[in-house]
Amino acid sequence: VSTSYRKTASNSPQASRKSAENKAETGAIRRCNRASRVQDNDELLVVSDTTELVFPRHPSKEGLGDIGNSKTDLEGVKVHSTIGLDPQTHRMTGVIDQQSLIEDQQASTKHDANGKNEPIELESEQEKWIRGDRQASDWLAEEVRPIFIHDRGADAFAFYREVTDDLDAGFVVRANQNRCIQTPSVPDGRLIDWSEDLPEQGRTSIEIEQGNGREARKAELIVKAGSCKLLPPKNEPTHTDPVEVNVVRIDERGEQDDPIQWVLLTTESVATFSDSLSVVESYRARWTIEDWHKVLKTGCRIEERRLETWERMEVLLSVYSVIAWKVLELRELARGDAYYSPDVLLSETERSILETKFPELTDNGTQAYAIAIAKIGGYLDRSSDPPPGWETMWKGLKKLQTWAEGYELHS
């Protein structure tokens, strides 16, 4: 089925200009704030993913698209976001790019809105990945090298070709296709099949969280690594040269219903077992964006908002995207995994309210402020309690913001 991505234009030229001015001003502030959070890094992990926003209680919004399939008829929007992660701590530094993909399955072209009044044609579904990565490359300072971390949806030869040819960047992408490859000993092989016979570098273990019908467990992994050349597909005449990549293959030991098996393609070194583990950890860091989506949809409840048009919803999405990031950062502060002043995340009014309710905060560090917010959300802070999660942090932050708004209105 053909698809088209489009943007609903504003009905008023004056409103369009005003909206553009507001977006430009907000964007400048965000770029400044994001830059301050990555300026000390030589590299930045750039993670992208797509989530669907469906509005079952309010399906009559103007400007929605088709996101169903042959079995379901759903209206909504696909949102493809690109975020930054600190390469050492894997903390989210902010939202770099957000594409609102509004799909018309009856059209014969693909378009992406991305804040424009006129649609921008896309040649393929995979193009959203490289568009977000280009935005990240353009935004980052020259001395900061991006490493793009993507799941199987980004596994496209055109992506690997562009990153290696045009962008001063690296990537870690989970393979989805059993591609044609070449090595000195295998002139005509297949990626997935060939990777099975790679030499083992070592073994490690990771904790798998519960979710999607999966029980929490400790997974024992076999790590293999090697290098090969990806051959261009026959249906892509514009690409004739192969792309050299390193490969890390992960296989879970033991009997599992759904064992872990990853084949990771990367520009990063896999010369040693430690190098390969770094590649694996970089790929695992992409789970942060899934947590962020959960906060956006379950915490902020973006799909339950009653604004009548997607144009207005898109503005609200921008606001909630920042709030969802703040919730995740507060969670890291509460765990003691972040080390910066609370004024990065909290306003002066919010800090004053916390210090009034919890006088001991004035003699404590940043972590205590995050714990105080969690307490407002119901966290008991007993010695046997685990660190607060994002749901508790969200409830506390929501109450704190309500109190701050009431205080400012009264004063």
pLDDT at 112: 54
pLDDT attached to residue 120: 57
So where are the chain's domains?
1-151+286-306, 173-267, 307-410
Q: What is the pLDDT of residues 381-400, one digit of tens each?
A: 998 999 898 889 999 999 99
Q: Is the pTM of this model over 0.75?
A: yes
Say how far apart CA 309 and CA 283 lie, in whole Å. 36
Across 296-300, average pLDDT: 90
| Per-residue CA distances from 185 to 189, 267, 326 (Å) | 10, 21, 50
* CA–CA separation, 380 and 134 (whole Å): 45
Summarised one tens digit per residue, pLDDT across range 43-100 is 999 999 999 999 876 667 788 877 766 666 778 888 999 999 999 888 888 899 998 8
Topology classification of domain 307-410: Transferase Inhibitor Protein From Tn5; Chain A, domain2 (1.10.740)
Among 102-106, 194-198, 391-395, the range with the most confident prediction by mean pLDDT is: 194-198
Residue 310 confidence (pLDDT) = 85
> How many CA atoms does the CB half-sphere of 166 hold within 13 Å?
11
Contact 175, 191 (CB under 8 A): yes
- Give mean pLDDT, residues 132-141: 90
What is the C-alpha separation between 171 and 290, in angstroms, rounded?
19
Read off the DSSP letter of residue 289.
H
- pLDDT top residue among 244 and 17: 244
Euclidean distance between CA atoms 176 and 148, whole angstroms: 16
Q: How does the average pLDDT of the chain come out, rounded?
A: 82
Does 32 have pLDDT greater than 80?
A: no
**List of residues 6+ apart from 232 with CB closer than 8 A:** 157, 161, 239, 240, 241, 242
Q: From CA 225, how far away is CA 204, in angstroms rounded?
A: 14
What does the pLDDT read at residue 338? Answer: 62
Read off the pLDDT of each residue in 267-280 and give the average, rounded to a whole number: 97
- CA torsion 339-342-343-349 (nearest 10°) is 180
pLDDT at 259: 86
Element (H, E) at 326: helix 310-334
Beta carbons within 8 Å of 60's beta carbon, 6+ residues apart: 308
pLDDT at 340 over 80: no
